[in-house]
């Protein structure tokens, strides 16, 4: 055998520009957001006022944490429907335990200072149970979290008697109300968490493991990734984020309604898919998911400013999701999965 | 060609399995099997589907613990099963199925889960990946997502990844099954040059010619047992086939007693001026009732596209396809089926089978009208037809209700064949009908094709495997999208290959 054979190479594809295109796909919705900005300006110049933009950002900050949570789970190739119920139940349980019995269904067992740790602890436990059922016992994740969605919603209705918790302790209201450096705290929290998630999913082994598991779990296992542990951890983090999101909304509204978060999961899924996250796992970015939810809320804001009657908002919301889906299909040039 | 001299010089074997036994329930997958792979050789592992090759590979790569017996690497005992990293430093396997993450880049796949500590530096990762691929002369864009690689490129990336773990022993599980002729030659050249630089291969293949072309030693397994290990040069093809099948029969000349086709009347299949721009052009051919016609061509010649256009999986831009005198709507599989066509698609995993459904369901997918009226599917009728297919095609299965995912490759392919035959087609189009099946299953499949022709169907065989074309009455050769030759039965291998590669004398 001669050495010349080592010179043989597979047919070259050339060093194409594909990866750069892939990076551009993250920005696929940016033109759409700019277009909505311009349209919004012509509909009502108020749209581009600083106060209005802050308003849009704050309104979407709570649900955007749900989108962040769902995007992480989707990238790892799973789904979590129960996030919307966690969003309501976690602050609901905290309120239940710290509020004195009286007007609302409180127990008054703990002092108000416990409310934030309690909220997060409830999120942690829910995520852990999801992981136990899905990862350890290998139950179908879609149905498990659907069941959890119904159970958790029912628990919130049960402990609240179907009523709204109000008169909440100040620590519980603080995060949703405070203003830090001229911006509402919830915007800061949302942006910082997104920034952290972008760094983690893009630049750490844990983050890349999510993509590997979502793309091909067997290959990930073969590469030595502890698939079960990573999935379980992701489900816990997702529920924690949902609980935090619920806490922010509770603070902004100074109450926990029995229906808090009800139906939000559809918007969350829509935002993630519009933002380029694949329902089949392994594809999409956290930044993309952020642009997805931002686009949805900007369009809604434009419609409100345009004076669309409230009775039509429901139908329009559905239509917006479909239109946004079509826009992202066109701008990304990628089939959605 | 250098002969591995490790046995003589006392170098310990790269890998050795001693008296391995493995049971799955009542099935014995490996029965007291020993295998020694010497340093620097290319060792072939052959055997029919279900002979135990895959189980042995799983034991050798540490994915399965044997019930008894031991594995050694370089004279030392194998690491603990949980220590994946240690296994990966000793042995690597390139499987047929995908072991890369399709959505991630080549660079990331190469260094998955060992991207380094702390924050990942993508620039450095890409540089390391490029260096690694350059070292082994693999010309692949490290930034491309793995899903965009060809099968050949993916194999090379996986080999490079294995080498980067420090392993110098690589198992190739049927690497040639999905490659065309030129890619196979390139793979062999690379295997030889890697062997020169000290890499040892265990090579699994169904193509015995490949064993003779590239391997030094061959081990045959049959029915979960080790049959023989011998230098390739000392075992002729007949002896090899005998060792594999356990019978002293070679490749029978299939269909020799088939009546001569009637070329005078209306052709069963007539293709006129068929073309898809950029793929193939102006392809015209006819198949008479009772005739077996082959279509050969190198990878990229467009032969599969011709087949897909005939059966309606693809819509031709020009030309007509007539099936038994009727002209089905182009680009419509149901119309072609109604016109009396049966076909075996080229990739059974992708287009051929629904893995979770039973044999009977898969075999009767194309003929729901036979199972009952008004769209109602009669399960009993369906299982009868399924049982019939199992008998006719000698499918090794527990019964018609067994899911096809539980069958071996050869038996799965027989189910696809059964489905193609389910509507008693006037025209049968077979694309890669024997890809990844063993010698015995191949005989059954080609025998079935011959029987269909003897029964009056016109059969078109489109295949990369020259053995598939041997029973054919005529063979057409496609080169770069154009028909360049038509050869009557009795063609010479070299002549055919020359025409496929576009060499005209």
CB-based contact A10 B141, cutoff 8 Å: no
| Chain B nearest C-alpha distance from A74 (Å) | 14
Residue A10 is nearest to which of B108, B140, B196, comparing CB atoms? B140
Rounded-to-integer distance, Cα B438 and Cα B443, Å? 9
Q: Where are the beta strands (DSSP E) in chain A?
A: 165-166, 179-180, 183-184, 255-256
Strand partners, B22: B30
User: How would you list the strands of the sheet with B341-344, edge to edge?
Assistant: B341-344, B427-431, B458-462, B292-297, B474-479, B482-488
Whether residue B134 contacts residue A15, with contact meaning beta carbons closer than 8 Å, is answered with: no
* Assigned token pair, B483: 């028909």
User: Which runs of E-coded beta strand occur in B298-425?
Assistant: 318-323, 341-344
Chain A residues inside the 8 Å CB shell of B120? 202-205, 208
Sequence-distant (6+) residues with CB within 8 A of B479 are B297, B298, B301, B499, B500, B501, B502
- C-alpha pair distances (Å), A127 with each of A8, A81, A122, A237: 52, 12, 9, 7
Across the interface, do A209 and B192 touch by the CB < 8 Å criterion? Answer: no
Q: Is the pTM of this model over 0.90?
A: no
- The minimal CB distance from B193 to the residues A5, A209, A219 is found for A5
CA distance B493 to B475: 12
Check: CB of residue A251 under 8 Å from CB of residue A58: no
Please give the backbone phi and psi of residue B42, each rounded to the nearest 5 degrees, phi first: -105, 110
Judge whether B319 and B488 are in contact, CB under 8 Å. Answer: no
Cα separation, B51 vs B410, in Å, equals 12
Report pLDDT digits (tens) over B327-380.
888 888 888 888 888 888 888 777 778 877 888 888 888 777 666 666 666 778
Cα–Cα distance, B446 to B443 (Å, whole number): 5
The answer to whether residue A334 neighbours chain B at the CB level (below 8 Å) is no
ipTM above 0.90, yes or no: no
Does the beta carbon of B286 lie under 8 angstroms from any beta carbon of chain A?
Answer: no
CA nearest to B145 within chain A: A19
Is the CB of B165 inside 8 Å of chain A's CB atoms?
no
Q: Which strands form B27-37's sheet, in the order they lie side by side?
A: B27-37, B15-24, B68-73, B76-77
| Contact call for residues A291 and A33 (beta carbons, < 8 A) | yes
Contact between chains at A203 and B84 (C-beta distance less than 8 A): no
SS3 label, residue A228: helix
Distance, in Å, from the CA atom of A191 to the CA atom of B274, rounded to the nearest integer, reads: 59
Indicate the SS3 state at residue B23: strand
Give how far B103 is from chain A: nearest CA, Å.
6
B189–A8 C-beta distance less than 8 A = yes
- Smallest CA–CA distance from B133 into chain A, residue: A9
Tens digit of pLDDT at every position of chain A (337 positions): 333 333 334 444 444 444 455 556 677 788 888 988 999 999 999 999 999 999 999 999 999 999 999 999 999 999 999 999 999 999 999 999 999 887 777 888 888 889 999 999 999 999 999 999 999 999 999 999 999 999 999 999 999 998 999 889 999 999 999 999 999 999 999 999 999 999 999 889 899 999 999 988 888 887 888 899 999 999 999 999 999 999 999 999 999 999 999 989 999 999 998 888 988 888 889 999 999 999 989 988 998 888 888 788 778 878 878 887 787 677 666 676 6
């Amino acid at each position: 055998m001669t050495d010349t054979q080592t010179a043989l190479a597979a047919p070259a594809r050339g060093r194409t520009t594909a990866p750069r295109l892939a990076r551009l796909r993250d920005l696929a919705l940016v033109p759409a957001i700019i277009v909505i900005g311009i349209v919004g300006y012509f509909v009502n110049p108020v749209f581009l006022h600083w106060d209005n933009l802050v308003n849009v950002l704050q309104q979407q900050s709570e649900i955007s944490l749900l989108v962040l949570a769902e995007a992480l789970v989707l990238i790892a190739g799973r789904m979590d429907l129960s996030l919307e119920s966690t969003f309501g139940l976690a602050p609901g349980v905290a309120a239940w335990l710290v509020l004195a019995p009286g007007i609302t269904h409180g127990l008054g067992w703990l002092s108000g200072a416990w409310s934030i740790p309690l909220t997060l602890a409830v999120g942690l436990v829910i995520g852990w149970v999801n992981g136990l059922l899905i990862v350890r016992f290998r139950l179908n994740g879609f149905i498990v979290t659907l069941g959890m969605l119904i159970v958790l919603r029912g628990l919130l209705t049960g402990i609240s008697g179907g009523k709204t918790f109000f008169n909440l302790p100040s620590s519980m209201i603080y995060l949703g109300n405070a203003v830090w450096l001229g911006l509402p705290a919830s915007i800061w929290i949302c942006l910082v968490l997104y920034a952290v998630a972008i760094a983690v999913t893009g630049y750490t082994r844990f983050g890349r493991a999510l993509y590997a598991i979502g793309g091909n779990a067997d290959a990930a296992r073969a590469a030595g990734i502890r698939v079960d542990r990573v999935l379980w951890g992701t489900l816990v983090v997702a529920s924690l984020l949902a609980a935090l999101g619920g806490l922010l909304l509770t603070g902004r509204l100074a109450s926990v309604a029995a229906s808090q978060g009800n139906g939000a999961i559809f918007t969350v899924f829509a935002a993630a898919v519009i933002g380029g996250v694949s329902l089949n796992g392994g594809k999409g970015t956290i930044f993309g998911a952020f642009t997805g939810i931002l686009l949805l809320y900007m369009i809604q804001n434009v419609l409100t400013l345009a004076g669309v009657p409230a009775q039509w908002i429901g139908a329009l919301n559905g239509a917006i999701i479909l239109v946004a889906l079509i826009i992202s299909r066109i701008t990304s040039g990628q089939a959605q999965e | 060609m250098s002969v591995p001299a490790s046995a003589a010089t006392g170098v310990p074997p790269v890998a050795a399995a001693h008296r391995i036994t493995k049971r799955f329930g009542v099935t014995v997958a490996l029965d007291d099997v020993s295998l020694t792979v010497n340093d620097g050789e290319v060792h072939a592992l052959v055997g029919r589907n279900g002979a135990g090759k895959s189980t042995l590979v799983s034991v050798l790569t540490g994915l399965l613990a044997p019930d008894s017996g031991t594995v050694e690497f370089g004279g030392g005992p194998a690491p603990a099963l949980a220590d994946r990293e240690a296994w990966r430093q000793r042995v690597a396997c390139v499987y047929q199925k995908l072991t890369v993450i399709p959505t991630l880049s080549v660079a990331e796949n190469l260094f998955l889960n060992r991207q380094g500590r702390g924050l990942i530096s993508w620039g450095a990762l890409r540089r390391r990946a490029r260096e690694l691929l350059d070292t082994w002369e693999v010309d692949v864009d490290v930034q491309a997502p793995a899903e965009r690689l060809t099968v050949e490129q993916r194999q090379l990336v996986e080999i490079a990844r294995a080498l980067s773990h420090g392993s110098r022993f690589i198992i190739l599980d049927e690497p040639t099954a999905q490659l065309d002729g030129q890619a196979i030659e390139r793979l062999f050249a690379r295997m030889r040059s890697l062997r020169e630089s000290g890499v040892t291969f265990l090579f699994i293949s169904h193509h015995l010619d490949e064993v003779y072309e590239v391997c030094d030693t061959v081990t045959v397994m049959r029915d979960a047992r080790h049959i023989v290990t011998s230098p390739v040069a000392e075992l002729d093809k007949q002896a090899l086939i005998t060792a594999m099948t356990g019978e002293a029969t070679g490749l029978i000349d299939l269909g020799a007693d088939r009546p001569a086709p009637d070329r005078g009347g209306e052709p069963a299949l007539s293709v006129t001026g068929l073309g898809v721009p950029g793929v193939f052009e102006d392809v015209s051919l006819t198949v008479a009732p009772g005739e077996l016609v082959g279509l050969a061509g190198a990878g990229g010649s467009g032969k599969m596209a011709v087949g897909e256009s005939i059966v309606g999986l693809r819509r031709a831009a020009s030309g007509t396809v007539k099936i038994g005198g009727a002209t089905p709507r182009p680009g419509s599989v149901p119309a072609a089926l109604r016109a009396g066509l049966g076909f075996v698609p080229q990739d059974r995993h992708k287009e051929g089978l629904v893995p979770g459904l039973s044999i009977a369901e898969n075999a009767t997918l194309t003929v729901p009208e036979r199972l009952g009226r008004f769209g109602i599917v009669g399960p009993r009728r369906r299982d009868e037809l399924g049982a019939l297919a199992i008998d006719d095609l000698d499918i090794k299965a527990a019964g018609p209700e067994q899911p096809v995912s539980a069958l071996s490759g050869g038996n799965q392919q027989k189910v696809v064949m059964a489905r193609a035959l389910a509507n008693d087609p006037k025209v049968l189009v077979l694309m890669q009908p024997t890809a990844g099946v063993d010698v015995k299953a191949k005989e059954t499949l080609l025998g079935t094709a011959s029987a269909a022709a003897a029964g009056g169907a016109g059969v078109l065989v489109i295949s990369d495997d020259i053995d598939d074309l041997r029973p054919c009455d005529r063979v057409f050769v496609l080169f770069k999208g154009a028909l360049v030759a038509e050869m009557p039965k009795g063609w010479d291998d070299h002549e055919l290959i020359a025409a496929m590669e576009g060499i005209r004398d």
